Amino acid sequence: MTEDIKRRARGLDRAFDILDFLKETGTPMRPNEIASGIGSPKSTVYELVSSLLERRILETVGKDGHVYLGRQLYFLGQAHLRHFDFTREAEVSLGEIVEQTRETAQMCLLNGRKYTVALMKEGARHFRISSDIGEDAPIPWTASGRLLLGHLTDQAIIDLIDDEDFILPDGTRLPVETFLAEIRKAHDDGFFSFDSIADTFTHCFAAPVRDKQGICIATLCIVAPRADATAHYDHYRRVLIDSANGLARRVIE
C-alpha cells in the first residue's frame, strides 16, 4: 500500500469518526470541539469538515460555525432502505405486534460494541414508551443483548464489551458470570425478558431473528408497563416469538 493510499484511508477513518461522534453527542458542534472529542489534529478535522460540507454529508447550523449531520445522509439512508428487504419486512412485523398487543414494538441490533434500537412502532395506548432510535446503549443493560451475543464464546463476549458497561444505571455492577449465564439460557430458550434496567416502570420482552446458520442477527422486542406485562405475559411472549420466527422465514426465503 502506497503512502498516498494510507493517507487517504486514515482520512476516511477520521471522517467516519466525525460522523460517529456527532451521532453520539446528538448536538451541533464546532470543528475544534469535534477535534478535541475524537482526539484528532484541528487542521485535519477542519479540512475534513470542509469536504463533508461540500458533499452535504454535514451542514452548518446557526451562524457560529456549528455543524451537524447533513440531509444527504437521510437520502442515502432512504436509498439503503429501499433495497433492504429485511427492514421492510421488520416494519410489517412490528405493525403486527402492535396490532395484537397494543404495546410498543422495536427491532434492535448490535452496533459495534453497543446496542441500538433500529426501528420502533408506538403502541396503541395513551402510555408512551420513550426511546430514541439509533441511540447506542450498553449491551448488558438490555434484554436483546442476551440474545444478540448467543453465538459468541464467553471470552469473545468479555472482549467485546467495555468493562464500564457492566455498571448499571443504579451504580451496581452486573457480575460477568451472571450475564454470561443469562446469555446461554436466553440462547437455549429463544427468548428473554426482564424488568427494564434503565427505568422502574417497564418490562422488556425480546425474541431472536436468526439467519440460516442460527445466528441472532436482530431482535424483535415489546416494551410494556410492568403491570400489563405481568397480566398478559404468555400472550406477549407467544406473539413476539411467532413474529420473530415469521420474519426470519420471510427474509431467509
For the beta sheet containing 216-225, the strands, ordered from the edge strand earlier in sequence to the opposite edge, are 136-138, 114-121, 104-111, 216-225, 202-210, 192-195
Which of 74, 93, 119 is the C-terminal boundary of a domain?
74
Residue-wise pLDDT for 136-180, tens only, equals 899 999 999 999 999 999 999 999 999 999 999 989 999 999 999
Residue 79 located in a structural domain? no
Is a pLDDT exceeding 80 seen at residue 230?
yes
Q: Domain check: are 92 and 48 in the same one? A: no
* CA–CA dist 245, 172 (Å, integer): 35
Q: What is the pLDDT of residue 126?
A: 60
Q: Domain check: are 201 and 178 in the same one? A: yes
207-236 average pLDDT score: 94
Instruction: Kindly report the number of other CB atoms within 10 A of residue 76's CB atom.
Output: 12
51-68 average pLDDT score: 89
Q: What is the pLDDT of residue 25?
A: 87
pTM of the model: 0.71
Is a pLDDT exceeding 80 seen at residue 49?
yes
Q: Domain check: are 57 and 88 in the same one? A: no
Contact 21, 45 (CB under 8 A): no
Cell 460517529 locates to 20
233-238 average pLDDT score: 97
Q: What is the pLDDT of residue 83?
A: 60
Tell me how far apart the 2 most distant CA atoms of the chain are, in Å: 64
Q: What is the pLDDT of residue 198?
A: 80
Coil, strand, or helix at residue 93?
A: helix
* Residue 250 pLDDT level (bands cut at 50, 70, 90): confident
* CA–CA dist 110, 134 (Å, integer): 11
Q: What is the pLDDT of residue 3?
A: 63
| 43: containing domain | 3-74
* Residue 197 pLDDT level (bands cut at 50, 70, 90): confident
Is a pLDDT exceeding 70 seen at residue 128?
no
Is a pLDDT exceeding 70 seen at residue 1?
no
Q: What is the pLDDT of residue 129?
A: 62
Q: Domain check: are 169 and 94 in the same one? A: yes
Query: If you average pLDDT over every residue of the chain, what do you get?
Result: 89
Residue 19 located in a structural domain? yes
Contact 169, 176 (CB under 8 A): no
Q: What is the pLDDT of residue 130?
A: 56
Coil, strand, or helix at residue 67?
A: strand
Which of 23, 43, 74 is the C-terminal boundary of a domain?
74
Q: Domain check: are 44 and 62 in the same one? A: yes
Q: Domain check: are 123 and 236 in the same one? A: yes
Residue-wise pLDDT for 6-42, tens only, equals 667 777 888 889 998 998 888 999 999 999 999 888 8
Which of 49, 74, 99 is the C-terminal boundary of a domain?
74
Q: What is the pLDDT of residue 184?
A: 96
Give the rounded percent of residues in the chain with a pLDDT score beyond 70.
91
**Range scoring the smallest mean pLDDT among 39-48, 93-102, 176-185:** 39-48
Contact 25, 61 (CB under 8 A): no
Is a pLDDT exceeding 90 seen at residue 133?
no
Q: Domain check: are 159 and 182 in the same one? A: yes
* Residue 84 pLDDT level (bands cut at 50, 70, 90): low
Beta strand 192-195 with 66-69 is unpaired
Q: What is the pLDDT of residue 12?
A: 85
Mind giving me the DSSP string for 172-239? -B--HHHHHHHHHHHHHHT-EEEE-SS-SSEEEEEEEEE-TTS-EEEEEEEEEEHHHHHHTHHHHHHH
**How many folded domains does the chain comprise?**
2
Q: Domain check: are 152 and 55 in the same one? A: no
* CA–CA dist 202, 133 (Å, integer): 18
